[in-house]
A = this chain, B = another copy of it.
Amino acid sequence: MSLLVLGTVAFDAIETPFGKTERVIGGAATYISLAASFFRTPIYLVSIVGDDFPQAFLDELQARGIDTGGVQVVQGEKSFFWSGRYHNDLNTRDTLDTQLNVLTKFTGEIPPAYQNAEYVMLGNLDPKLQLKGLESVSRKPKLAVMDTMNLWLDIARPAVEEVLAKVDVLSINDEEARQLTGEYSLVTAARKILAMGPEYVVIKKGEHGALLFHQDEVFVAPALPLEQVFDPTGAGDCFAGGFIGYLAESGDVTYENLKSAVMFGSVMASFCVEKFGPERLLEIDSNDIQQRLKQFLSLMRVSAEMPPR
């Protein structure tokens, strides 16, 4: 089934304790669509770049089954640029520079050919554009997932809440869940978010894994214990891409299958952090994914029974 991905395609400059890049390709929609492209689903990518963005990379995406016809290339403009420095724990970072550039011209218009998409992934973006994208889809999607970030909670909370009321899944990190709800406990935060509209909430906790909440149910997925997280940039987006890509291929949006999707999200995120930018995603194939999934499942394999009393 077809998957619409709305979000940024951009440049990043990243510093981590392990190294530094000048300018690499980044953007939420880049990571999402790359991670989703390992699943058999047509992907419609809607984004905007300047004329500095390498056509070769768009061609690479296209070759991977991602329809980039919805990526608007604006002559005379520069692509969105973000630069950040991660602290030693890799869970916190400082933004060094944000240049919106061409992003100020983005309208979130969905090309007519994409409006029949059955799965919709709203990457982190101005919630007004997320809303416009979602409303452009011609019928209610089988599943709509949104991500957001602290910036939008600070400056556009009502619009975030408006999108939230219309999607099926919110995918968010722990600090954002706390900011959105004013609750420290993630269980209470999730309960409040579910009351705001979505049927599911995924709370991503980085090296501590992810939680999926649905009604009174919780599923806890581990992160892969790694010796070295090289660069966490894009990990949350890869999670979202693996999550929705798997669901779009399987066409099954039951709670049980969303739990499986969380595992594929975790798998894709675990590859992402192994190298700078999207580099690692360009190297792996579906065998690697299968192997990594096995590794994840073996992390959680246990039987335990209270001895008879």
Chain A residues in the interface with B (C-beta under 8 A): 39-40, 88-89, 184-188, 191, 205, 208-209, 211, 218-222, 225-229, 246, 249-250, 256, 259-260, 262-264, 286, 289-290, 293, 296-297, 299-307, 309
Contacts and interface: CB of A to CB of B under 8 A. Distances in A.
Contacts of A39: 307
Given A246-B307, A263-B302, 8 more contacts: A187-B225, A220-B222, A220-B300, A221-B302, A222-B222, A256-B303, A290-B306, A296-B304
Given A227-B188, A300-B302, A302-B259, A250 B286 contact: no
Nearest to A261: B304
| Identical copies of this chain, number | 2
A263 B290 CA distance: 27
A299 B219 contact: yes
Contacts of A306: 286, 289-290, 293
Contacts of A259: 301-302, 304
Nearest to A291: B306
A242 to B, nearest CB: 11
B293 A304 contact: yes
A301 B123 CA distance: 28
6 contacts: A187-B227, A218-B299, A219-B302, A222-B222, A256-B303, A289-B306
